[in-house]
Structure 1
Amino acid sequence: MTQDDLRELIEKYLTEDLSQQEFQLLWSALEEPGNKEIWMEMVQSVWENPMYHGLSDDHIKEKALDRLRPLLTEEVISPMIPNSKPPVVRWLARGGAWWAAAVFVVMCCAGAYLLFLRPARRQPLDNTGGIAAKNDIAPGSNKALLTLSDGSTVALDSTGNQLIRQGATTIRQYNGQLQYKAQGAASGIAYNTLTTPRGGQFKIVLPDGTKVWLNAASSIRYPIAFTQNERRVKISGEVYFEVAGNATKPFMVDVNGSTEVQVLGTHFNINAYKDEAAINTTLLEGKVSVNVNQQPGVILKPGQQASLSTNGTLQLFKDVDTAQVVAWKEGWFQFHLANLPAVMRQVERWYDVEINYKGDITDVVFEGRIQRELTLAQMLKILEKYHVRFHVEGKTITVLPG
């Protein structure tokens, strides 16, 4: 990107004429050496020219501040301490004149920070938009339903501690997880299914030692003993795997009947929710092959992601932020250039609520993370800081224009 191109993007950003694609280009460009100096130079010129938008100097500065929030992140963002005061404005001295180089709206509440990236004018909340404590809903927790091979079901939660026997296999539930252990040779193939509801998550250790984490509204179907020449499971929703190595028995994952992931021993995450735009397979360690409809597969290396869109297009993305992909497993919502519907889909699954939209929804883009252990009211109060309003009635949330 040339300096003229960069200056044009910055100009469009300051005048609210930047498309989503151009915003991402600008975001990437500001990571290149020297480009931040151009950014600061142009911002200073805006403040030194009160006629830039035909407004007073004070209004110019206010408008410019509104447009600087998402940038120069490494100067401000650091691990946040609950109840600490977040940095808001970083002032710099240049040429003897003080001027603001960047400003962030950072939410620091119970370990959360969130950046509002596409500013809009804030509207005051009315009484119907507030989130009352009486409407509060607890966050998701360890809970799932185990369906045994005979069709019977067992409810699982964080406190359960029980032992289940299926033929030569022992199933133990403890501390919010399920562990399988084969005691001898199995007679025939029997399958179990573990399903998490909305508002639930669970961990399972398969008979071969493979560790599996299920996010909310997800499932995995698996044999109670791997007796064949391959280890094959079927999943839906979002699942993280740490596959036990076994070169003689490749591990196969059937994703919604449309994608197959083949591994030998590796760590990877599959997001296959049907209300998302693509099935995303992200590799953290090892090596996997992602195959679609028996066609030649895409081989992933660590840090890469295979994305299968709803129209059947398979794309390979490199240098993916794997920490953001698996943040759910570590107890976080983590957003990167996420629009409001994308954020609310996660809220819907984790708090087991219904989301409705009323009126024109603000074009907000979020960057940052929030702990998943917050209650619904705490979560929505954070989002309300960023020009979004909510009306909560029972388990139905209506998103209102800001």
Structure 2
Amino acid sequence: MFKKIKNILSLLKSVDLEQIQKISQKIDLPAVMASVSKMDDKQLKMLNKMLTSGGKKRESPPINADFYGVETKLNPEDRALQLKVRAFLEAEIKPLVNNYWLHDEFPFEIIPKLAELNICGYTYEGYGCAGGTSLMDGIIAAEFGRIDPSIATFLGVQSGLAMGSIYLCGSEEQKAEWLPRMQQMQVIGAFGLTEPEIGSGAAGGLTTTCKKTEQGWVLNGQKKWIGNSTFSDITIIWARDLDDGEVKGFIVKKENPGFEVEKIKGKMALRIVQNGLITMKDCVVPESDRLALANSFKDTAKVLQMTRAGVAWMAVGCARGAYENALAYTLERKQFGKPIASFQLIQNHLVEMLSNLTAMQTLVFRLSEMQDADELRDEHASLAKVFCSLRTRDIVSKAREVMGGNGILLEYNVARFLADAEAIYSYEGTKEINSLIVGRSITGISAFV
């Protein structure tokens, strides 16, 4: 009994007489003391913990969206580059993207700053490019997507689709003429494949045509949803040859007669990306600007396979940005006197988001390993695009959900990720088309019409 009384006194030693008087007006102190005197040592310890922990501020662990430590597999040089890119994006891009996204405009002032990072055309050998790994190229794409998928898309078009077309399908003269300047972003490129009535059916149904004449190649037709095209210096145009029916590629300069671009307005996603509707009426392109090694859609597909892996990484970045913003919000936002992160249902949403994100990270990491080992096939890239864009949709939705009404406000960032995920879900091949590519691989049966 003496020990219990001693423990009770120790609990009350920090309470002065005035406080006891105030407490006694609200509760029956003798009854409380009687109840406490009946407690065993374990119960007293629990009571003591309850009474003494109230004044301590709980420190939240640092936000770590790389839950399985995928990034620890990077070598020191690559890790340093990743952190350099992340710091640049946090300082130079993050503060301005919401405003430009809202006004459907592109921040041209960032182009020289992006050039200084020296990451454009990162995997290519020569021409001022770094000759780096596909894995690191994917990491960079994810870092951009984590801050803003629109700027990530701008870089993906410039570095992947436009430069990649010239790198894979151009002559040595064409590579030497264009790639060094594009690597330094002195020349901005666009990639024109999709048409107003032709998206998924581009392999066999392009309506944009080309015909060789004495004056050069004459191009006629339209291209739609062409990112960067409203201000690009050159656009890679893919067209069906009227003579042999094969798809050929061309480097078309913005000043080419018969080449016009109209900005597409009213988008709900990737609003910083300047998409254009291109119209070509008897647009003459010299033979020197025809991609020398692009002789069929199979050559176009090589470019798409390479960049589709990058889109999967971009989806990972978009999902990561939404998750990190949502988690930070739940740790700060209070309801019923405590952070909403302490509620079971919120934690369940956060864990589901992290589970999907972690699965995506490990998938694309392995995908890039295969790409660096020259083992990547169409179905590998397509599976990654399907899974990552689908799971990103789920993650951004839950991120908005845990933020309640604030989740639809730009100032909290998640609304932008929520909208941009819809564009990532569709471009570089829809879920259905990429699923059929994988389905053909695993069954040996083509289900394409």
**Does TM, normalized by the shorter one, top 0.5?**
no
What is the TM-score of this pair, normalised by structure 1?
0.23
- Larger relative contact order, structure 1 or 2 (CA cutoff 8 Å, min sep 6): 2
Taking structure 2 as the reference length, what is the TM-score of the superposition?
0.21
Q: Name the one with the larger strand percent.
A: 1
Structure ranking higher in helix proportion: 2
